[in-house]
Amino acid sequence: MAADESNASVASALCTTSRFYLAIALDVPLPGLFDYWHIEPVPCGVRVLVTFGRRVMVGMVCEALDTPRLEAARVRAIDRVLDDLPPMPGDWMRLAGFAARYYHRSMGEVLMPALPASLRKPAAYLGSRAAGGPVCRADRRPGRPAQGQVSSVEVSVPTLNAQQQAALQALLSMKTGVALLHGVTGSGKTEVYLRLAQQILSQGRQVLLLVPEINLTPQLENSVRARLPGELAPLSLAVMHSNLAEGERLRAWLRVARGHADVLLGTRLALFTPMPRLGLIIVDEEHDTSYKQQDGLRYSARDLAIWRGHDLGVPVVLGSATPSLETWHRVNQGAYQYLSLSQRALAQALPEVHLVDTRRARLEQGMSPQLIEALAASLARGEQSLVFINRRGFSPVLRCNSCGWVSQCPRCTAYAVVHRHRAGRHTLQCHHCGHCTAVPRACPDCGDQDLQPLGQGTQRVEAYLTEQFPQARILRIDADSTRRKGSAAALFSQVHDGQADVLVGTQMVSKGHDYARLGLVGVLNADAMLFAQDYRAPERLFAQLMQVAGRAGRRGAGAQVLVQTDYPDQAVYQSLRHHDYTSFARSALDEREELGLPPFAYQALLTAQARHLRDAQGFLSEARECAMRLEAAKGVQLYDPVPVRVVRVANIERAQLLIESPSRRALHRLLDVWLPEVYDLARGRPLRYGLEVDPQEI
């Protein structure tokens, strides 16, 4: 016995001498790193194949360990070192490390999803099909370098006005730090970005240009491509967004990461691309909520871009016509440089904004006589008009006139929306879970056939306008009319080619598109946003209306915007009428400061989802009590858990617990010590939970 034991320990001692222990990040919902060993050292940032439980996974080496943190006998060997890429660069590892700490997630949950999917799928490295792996295959197919229709087109470079010139000079002399380029719509921010980028490229450095939405990339892609130095143009621009096929995304990623592409244009996921020569980061429309990832790692690409710029000592430019109040606050504090473009680049006046008081108007299908008259006049002049209503479908609810029954989603606490279809088959659809049924012929409760759609969505507005203006070409642009791939681009090109007279659309139409002949914008149902429960609602409404209004009159004079509202005296509308962001921001920030809301406080949100609301709320109550016992809870407020606004979605009930502190440090100190306890508390319960730092919606 004794001899056997000593033999075993000798054997394991011999073994350990040739073992190098490694802490590996894996994308699993468990805290921390996982110990493995290999027969030779493996540098940080290298991907490895490991067996975790019974699964084979791709992980990444994050640390070399002198001794394993587990009993040595229980530590497994890694299966294989993936050497198809050099180790991920140190600054990329730092960025991921910061994101993991700040958002309180494990390294694996940050690092692995930040890579193109084929670099983190074990299947790509197993079996005979995978000979060489995805990188090797991508290299064999370098891909179409250019879709550039632009190359042969003559590029006319606009001259800068005095304000653009001054802003460019200031940005050129900025070596590091953050600048806000605050420019009204049509003021030519893009031109300033392009000039600045050219300068950085001429120094041999790379530029990261972030945009909020995929739909905005094609226009900008052409502008950027047109400015790249001739022979380099096809290869030196890479585009990245979630609609790219995996092979394309990997090839773009490799070109940027290897320093072969000079400009990376992309949506929030592009932020996590390694860029060995990064010299400038631009975040266009920095206020846009699309920069915040809404599932998985709920990061803000804008905030991480600022951190990345700071870490590398390169300048970050934030651009917006309606900066977020967080950014405006930093400007007020003197932390960011402020540059203003208050004039439209083409010397056009901003459109006139009129508030139509709907308390005194007789509305037809939600539209005032003023708006109908203005539409008729605009049609007569041969100009385009836009009717903006942020609600898709025919009408938001169906109601029985005899008993008061209303259409409700059976799986959610939400109304089922009436949708009409060409074939005449109408449906009730839930916009939260997608549940869809045919519109009943009679009331399910009382059998009465008198069912009325209440209120308007885009379809109903479209139908009404078609009836009013039979000669006009009316086009609807919303998530329904653009569902098929490529259909959005086709619809927008119809608009740009002047093949539409009246456009009816949701927020999809408001962003970035430059409509040449748009002389009139009508806004319906804006009040619904004003009174949403979220404290950010007025800020969002203001940004959205400024953006929609900004679509008008970019090439012509005398454009007007009609906003229908029951509350024309509200500060949001008054500031909008004068195109006065500054007064809006001042009053909104005063209010936030008084109420102790961000940016004067820092928040995190713990949410729980369960079949039964009592499970979700009970868990959050216990989690709260547990936090209150902690020393670190000093200076941090934990509110009572509450059900979220649409409490039940797809039969899952949801509740949330808000955590808030005037000190960012205090908030994170509490989260550091509290979250491991929350993790233990949740174990074995029939629920899921998640933490969001700096939540955008409460």
**Residues contributing to the site for Zn ion (CB under 5 A):** 400, 402-403, 405, 409, 411-412, 430, 432-433, 435, 443, 445-446, 448
Residue closer to Zn ion (CB basis): 440 or 568: 440
Closest to Zn ion by CB, 579 vs 648, is 648
Minimum distance of Zn ion from residue 688's CB (angstroms): 18
Classify 389 as helix, strand or coil.
Answer: strand
Residue (426 or 435) nearer to Zn ion, CB: 435
E strands within 335-448?
A: 337-341, 352-357, 384-389, 397-400, 417-419, 427-429, 436-438
204 vs 410, which CB is nearer to Zn ion? 410
Q: How far is the CB of 619 from Zn ion (least distance, A)?
A: 23
Cβ at position 605, least distance to Zn ion in Å: 22
Task: Give just the sign of the alpha carbon dihedral 424, 430, 431, 433.
Answer: negative
Assigned token pair, 530: 């004003």
* DSSP track, 70-88: S-GGGPEEPSEEE-SSPPP
68-77: long-range contacts at Cβ-Cβ below 8 A with a sequence spacing of 24 or more? 68/21, 68/35, 68/37, 69/35, 70/35, 72/12, 72/16, 72/19, 73/12, 75/21, 75/35, 75/36, 75/37, 76/36, 76/37, 76/50, 76/51, 77/36, 77/37, 77/38, 77/39
Query: In the complex, what is the shortest distance from the CB of residue 406 to Zn ion, in angstroms, rounded to a whole number?
Result: 10
The DSSP secondary-structure symbol of 407 reads: -
Closest contact distance (angstroms) between CB of 448 and Zn ion is 5
Region of residue 639 (phi > 0: left; psi between -120 and 50: alpha; otherwise: beta): beta
Q: Find, among 269, 261, 207, the residue nearest to 235 by Cα.
A: 261
Beta-bridge mates of residue 132: none
Cα separation, 417 vs 455, in Å, equals 10
Q: What pairs with residue 503 in β-bridges? A: 386, 475
Q: Between 389 and 409, whose beta carbon lies closer to Zn ion?
A: 409
Give the DSSP letter of residue 5.
Answer: H
Q: Which is nearer to Zn ion, 435 or 555 (CB)?
A: 435
**Pick 434 or 686: Cβ nearer Zn ion:** 434
Whole-number Cα distances in Å, 565 to 257, 454, 551: 50, 18, 20
Q: Which residue's CB is nearer to Zn ion, number 503 or number 652?
A: 652
| Least Å from the CB of residue 436 to Zn ion | 9
Q: Choose between 435 and 577: whose C-beta lies nearer to Zn ion.
A: 435
Closer CB to Zn ion, 429 or 547, in the complex: 429
State in angstroms the smallest separation of the CB of 398 from Zn ion: 11
**What's the rounded Cα separation, in Å, for the pair 264 and 255?**
10
Specify burial of residue 527 (Cβ count, 10 A radius: 0-12, 13-18, 19+).
middle
Asked whether the CA dihedral 446, 452, 456, 460 is positive or negative, the reply is positive
- 496 or 645, CB closer to Zn ion? 645
**Complex with Zn ion: residue 417 or 474, whichever CB lies closer:** 417
Q: Which is nearer to Zn ion, 198 or 408 (CB)?
A: 408
CB of 654 to Zn ion, least distance (A): 13
Query: Which residue in the block uniquely carries the two structure tokens 């660069």?
Result: 89
Q: Which is nearer to Zn ion, 270 or 433 (CB)?
A: 433
Q: In angstroms, what is the minimal distance from the CB of 427 to Zn ion?
A: 13
Give 388's DSSP letter: E
Residue closer to Zn ion, measured from CB, 511 or 654: 654
Cα-Cα-Cα-Cα dihedral sign, residues 285, 217, 276, 119: positive
Q: How far is the CB of 624 from Zn ion (least distance, A)?
A: 29
Q: Is 571 helix (H, G, I), strand (E, B) or coil?
A: helix
Residue 150 or 433: which CB sits closer to Zn ion?
433
Supply the minimum distance, in Å, between the C-beta of residue 451 and Zn ion: 8
Considering beta carbons, is residue 87 or 440 the nearer one to Zn ion?
Answer: 440
Give min distance, CB of 650 to Zn ion, in A. 6
Closest distance of CB 609 from Zn ion, Å = 15
Helix (H, G, I), strand (E, B) or coil at 321: coil
661 phi, psi to nearest 5 deg: -155, 145
Work out how close the CB of 449 gets to Zn ion at its nearest, in angstroms, rounded to a whole number.
9
Least distance between Zn ion and beta carbon 658 (Å):
25
Measure the CA–CA gap between 294 and 242, rounded to whole angstroms. Answer: 14
Give the residue among 283, 321, 380, 404 at the shortest CA–CA distance from 582. 321
DSSP state of 562: E
Query: CB of 678: closest distance to Zn ion in angstroms?
Result: 29
Q: What's the chain's Rg over C-alpha atoms?
A: 28
- Residue 654, SS3 per DSSP: strand
- Give whichever of 342 and 651 is closer to Zn ion, judged by the CB atom: 651
User: What's the CA gap between 402 and 445, in Å, rounded?
Assistant: 10
Kindly report the number of other CB atoms within 10 A of residue 315's CB atom.
Answer: 22
CB of 415 to Zn ion, least distance (A): 9
What is the spatial distance between Cα 85 and Cα 246, in angstroms, rounded to a whole number? 17
For CA atoms 234, 238, 240, 246, the dihedral sign is positive
Question: How far apart are CB 113 and Zn ion at their closest, in Å?
Answer: 28
Quick one: tokens of 318?
């934030």
* Pair type for strands 436-438 and 427-429: antiparallel
Say if CB 501 and CB 473 are below 8 A apart: yes
- CA–CA distance, 618 with 641 (Å, rounded to integer): 9
